[in-house]
Amino acid sequence: MYVFRHSEQTLKTALISKNPVLVSQYEKLDAGEQRLMNEAFQPTSDLFKPITFQSQSDWIISHPEVPQDFEQFFSDAYRKTPTPEKHTIYIQSIGSLANTRVISEEYIKWLKSYCEAFFYGLTVKLLEPVSVSATKCSFRVNDHTQNLQIHAGHILTFLKKKKREDAFCVVGITMIDLYPRDSWNFVFGQASLTDGVGIFSFARYGKDFYSSHYKGKVKKPKRVSSSDYSIFNNYCVPDITSALLLRSCKTLTHEIGHIFGLRHCQWLACLMQGSNHLEEADRRPLNLCPICLRKLQCALGFNIVERYKALVRWIDEECTDTPAPKPSCENAVSVPKPVEAFKEWREWVVKCLAVLQNQE
């Protein structure tokens, strides 16, 4: 394993900048928030670690990109910022997400409430789920993997039409694998930052997608009619395990982060690191490093303590039916939220809260 370590000064400048306006903006932050963010350039920080990589195929090695510090983000004239009029993230599910309707519905509510805590202050709404056929997208059976795939660009066109007046963005999620164009094998997701739409597939996050007995392999039909979507009926979907929930929360927040104008992070171990493959995506943390956190805070204006508390509450709350007239969840169908995989991260957030609130 290799470590990608920046000097204290580099990290400090990336976070605070040398621009006097941004320095004074930083100094106006709450003392606890500064204490937490300053951990970015403490070499012995227990909270924020350098980026590690394992091979030359890792993103940071194989995709040289210009790093984006806070100042570059701040002065990017093209980045999208929510406004009081455009303040809602819409989530659209496409095709079935789980083996039963109840689990599908619960799963998407978990994603919704996670995004609400993560993008603290924004409203997140679910659009009525649609079938694959409703999107009128092209589809195919992949020649190599024999799984069903839908055309990502066609889904983006569909999502654009779904955009309401108050939408900051519309993100589609599906358990069907995606392809961006005929010559490509697959893609995990695709987004249009200018249109504020994105589509992400979690098909490959199931535990057996890459195994030889993956149930999603289908025989290539002799003649595929572009309007016959019956092949999607009862098509296999992965089990909603704790690991899948974690991976999907991570992907969704990473991708929505891009819609805010956050580029791939090259500073510290961070949710916004790029990833080339699943193992690398699993290695990146659920949290933003202080530089990316300052970017998101600048776009949303949240209080960091409140945001972290909301994330802890999301992990602790088994039931997502918050607006229920009764405080108990006894009427709700009980599908426990599989949060085991988030426990370690919960401890990390609690440590951050201690720094923020000076309870060391």
Nearest to 82 by CA among 28, 135, 130, 120: 120
> Does residue 36 bind Zn ion (CB under 5 A)?
no
Pattern 288-317, Zn ion, x by CB under 5 A: -x--x-------------------------
- Minimal distance, residue 220 CB to Zn ion, in Å: 32
> Does residue 37 bind Zn ion (CB under 5 A)?
no
The stretch among 23-31, 36-44, 260-268, 299-307 that binds Zn ion (CB under 5 A) is 260-268
User: Which of 16, 240, 270, 355 is the binder for Zn ion (CB under 5 A)?
Assistant: 270
Nearest to 301 by CA among 25, 17, 71: 25
The position carrying tokens 């009029």 is: 85
> Does residue 281 bind Zn ion (CB under 5 A)?
no
User: Which of 265, 286, 299, 353 is the binder for Zn ion (CB under 5 A)?
Assistant: 265
Strand, helix or coil for residue 29: coil
Distances (CA, A) of 179 to 69, 186, 215, 240, 306: 32, 4, 19, 23, 39
- Minimal distance, residue 271 CB to Zn ion, in Å: 7
Cα separation, 276 vs 57, in Å, equals: 7
> Does residue 60 bind Zn ion (CB under 5 A)?
no
- Minimal distance, residue 347 CB to Zn ion, in Å: 20
Q: Interior CA angle at 61 toward 57 and 64, to 5°? A: 125
- Minimal distance, residue 273 CB to Zn ion, in Å: 7
Tokens (6 digits) for 110 = 């978990």
**347 catalytic residue (yes or no):** no
The stretch among 40-48, 67-75, 282-290, 313-321 that binds Zn ion (CB under 5 A) is 282-290
Can you spell out the DSSP letters for 229-255?
Answer: -GGGTT-------HHHHHHHHHHHHHH
Closer of 95 and 290 to Zn ion (Cβ): 290
CB 70 within 8 A of CB 35: no
Active-site entry in 71, 255, 317, 360 = 255
Strand, helix or coil for residue 304: helix
> Does residue 171 bind Zn ion (CB under 5 A)?
no
The stretch among 63-71, 164-172, 192-200, 281-289 that binds Zn ion (CB under 5 A) is 281-289
The catalytic residues are: 255
Q: Which residues bind Zn ion (CB under 5 A)?
A: 265, 270, 272, 289, 292
